[in-house]
Structure 1
Amino acid sequence: MTELFISAFVTLFVVIDPLGCAPIYASLTSGASGPQRRAMAIRAVGIATAILLIFALWGKQLLGVLGIALDSFRIAGGIMLFIIAMDMVFEKRTQRREDRAHKIAETPEVEDVSVFPMAMPMIAGPGSIATVMLLMSRADGIGERSVVMAAVLATLGLMLVSLLAAGPIMARLGARIEAVITRLLGVLLAALAAQFVIDGLNASF
C-alpha cells in the first residue's frame, strides 16, 4: 500500500504541478488583497477536488456509457501525459500557462480566477483527470482505491499550500530553480507515461 501511495502521489504531483501553478496564481492575483487571495485559493482547490473525485469515482462508468475500453483509455492517457512531459522538459507548458495568465490579467472584468483558469484547466485539467482515472483503473479493491484517493487529496493539499504561499515561494525559488524543477519532473512524468502505454498495450494484446 505504501508503494502504491508513493507511486500515485508522485504521478499526481508531477501532473498537477503545485510548484508550477504557484507563480501563475501569484501573477493572476497580484492586485488582490491577502484575504481575497486566500479565499480564491481555497475555492479553486475545492472545486478542482470535487471535479477529480467525480472522475475518480465514476469515470469508469462514463467510459462504459461511451463504449470506450479501459485499455484504450490507458494508452490514450499515457500519450497525453507524455505530451505534457515533453512540454515540461522544453518549457512549452510553462509558456502556455504564462500566456493564459497574461490574457486573463488583461481582461479587466475578470476578478475571481478561482474557477477559471485555476480550478480548470490548471489544476483539474485533461492531464490530471486522465491520470486520476488511470490510477483508479489500476487499483484493485476498496483498499487500493482508498490509497489512490488519499494520494489525490494529499496532492491537492500541497496545491493549496502552494497557492497560499505563492508569493513567498516565488521570491525564494526564482525563475531558474523553477525551470530546473519543472524539467526534472517532466523527465519523470515521461517515464510514467510510457509505463501507462505499455500496460495498456500488454492488456490489449
Structure 2
Amino acid sequence: MTLDYLTSALVTLLVTLDPPGLAPIFLSLTRGMSDAERRQVAVRACIIAFGIMAFFGLAGDVVLKALGVSLPAFRIAGGLLLFWISFEMVFERRNERKAQTAQIAITQDHIRNVAAFPLAIPLMAGPGALTAMMLLAGRAEGSWLQFGALAAITALVILSCLVVFLLATPIARLLGVTGNVVLTRLLGVILAALAVQFVIDGVRAVIRAG
C-alpha cells in the first residue's frame, strides 16, 4: 500500500464530497428544525452516505452492470433529482408543502426523509463520489488492506462532513430569518447549476461512448 494511493483517495473524496460546500445546503434543507433535530439529520445522513459509498466501493460496478445501468445514466439521474430539489428551494415549494402540514411540525419521518434524500444521496453520496469510490476500489486491485484503508479514509471524510453540519447551526443563528431565506434562494440557483452540470457530464459520456 503506497502513500500515493492514500493521498489520492483522501484528496479525491474531499473534492467530490466538498464538506464546506455542503454546510449552507444543509442549513437550507433543515430550516425550521431544532438543534436536536438537525443533529439527528446530520448523523443519519452521514451514516447512510458512508453505507452507500462503502457498498459502491465494494460492489457498485458489479451491481450497475447487472442492472444494465451505465455510470453516465446514473449521473444524469442524479442531476435530474438535484434539479428538482433546487427548483423547490428557489420557488419555496418545500415551504408551501410544509405549511400544509404545519400542525405536524417536524416529524421523525421528515427527519429520516431529509437525511436520506437529498442530503445523503445525491448530495453526499452523489454520482461523482460514487464513481470516485468505484475507481479507487478498482485501484486497490483486490488488496483487502487497501480496501480497509479506503474505508477508513471514507469514514474520515464523512466525519468531516458531520463536523461541518454541526457547526452550521450557529451560522444559521447569525444569519437570521432574512439571511436564511436569501441563502436558500441563492443556493437553489447554485444547486440547479450543479444539477445541470451533472446532466451535461452524463450526456457527454454517453456521446463519447457512442
Q: TM-score range by the shorter chain?
A: 0.5 to 0.7
* Residue 98 of structure 1, CA deviation: 4.9
SS at match of 2:152: helix
Judge conservation of contact 2:46–2:158 (CA < 8 Å) in 1: yes
Question: Structure 2 vs 1, CA of residues 120 and 95 (structure 1 numbering), >3 Å: closer, same or farther?
Answer: closer
* Kept in 2: contact 1:23–1:167 (CA 8 A): no
**Distance in structure 2 (CA, Å) of the matches to 1:61 and 1:114:** 26
SS at the partner of 1:107? helix
Does residue 40 of structure 1 match 2:30? no
Partner of 2:57: 56
TM-score, scaled to structure 1: 0.64
**Cα deviation 1:41-86 (Å, max 9, x = unaligned):** 1011111111111111112432553579xxx96xx69xx6xxxxxx
Alignment of 1:31 onto 2:32: yes
**Structure 2 unaligned blocks of 5 or more:** 76-81, 191-204, 206-210
Counterpart in the other structure of 1:6: 7
Task: Verify: 1:107 aligned to 2:97, yes or no.
Answer: yes
Change (3 A) 1:66 1:37: closer
Residue 20 of structure 1 deviates from its aligned partner by: 1.2
**Alpha-carbon separation, structure 1, partners of 2:10 and 2:171:** 21
Picking from 133, 136, 151, the partner of 1:149 is 151
| Matching of residues 160-199 of structure 1 within 5 Å | 160-168=162-170
How far apart, in 1, do the equivalents of 2:88 and 2:159 lie?
Answer: 24
Query: What's the CA shift for 1:104?
Result: 3.5
Is the Cα contact below 8 Å between 1:24 and 1:97 reproduced in 2? no
- Shift, 1:26, TM fit: 0.8
**Matched length:** 163
1:114-153 residue pairs with structure 2 within 5 A? 114-140=115-141, 141-153=143-155
Letter in 2 for 1:52: M
Q: In the alignment, residue 158 of structure 2 is paired with which amino acid?
A: L
Counterpart of 2:193 in structure 1 is none
Distance 2:85 2:10 in 1: 23
Q: Secondary structure at the match of 1:30?
A: coil
Tell whether the 8 Å contact from 1:55 to 1:132 is kept in structure 2 after alignment: yes
Unaligned stretches of 5+ residues in structure 1: 81-93, 183-196, 198-205
Output the CA distance in 2 between the equivalents of 1:67 and 1:126: 16
Q: Deviations over 1:96-131 (max 9, x none)?
A: 875454543443158421111111111111111111
Structure 1 consecutive aligned stretches of length 4 or more whose deviation exceeds 3 Å: 63-68, 94-106, 167-172
| Aligned-residue identity in percent | 35
Q: Looking at CA atoms only, which structure, 1 or 2, has the larger radius of gyration?
A: 2
Amino acid in structure 2 at the alignment position of 1:147: A
Whole-Å separation in 2 of the counterparts to 1:103 and 1:3: 46
Q: Tell me how far 1:18 sits from its aligned partner.
A: 1.0
Cα drift, residue 138 of structure 1: 1.2
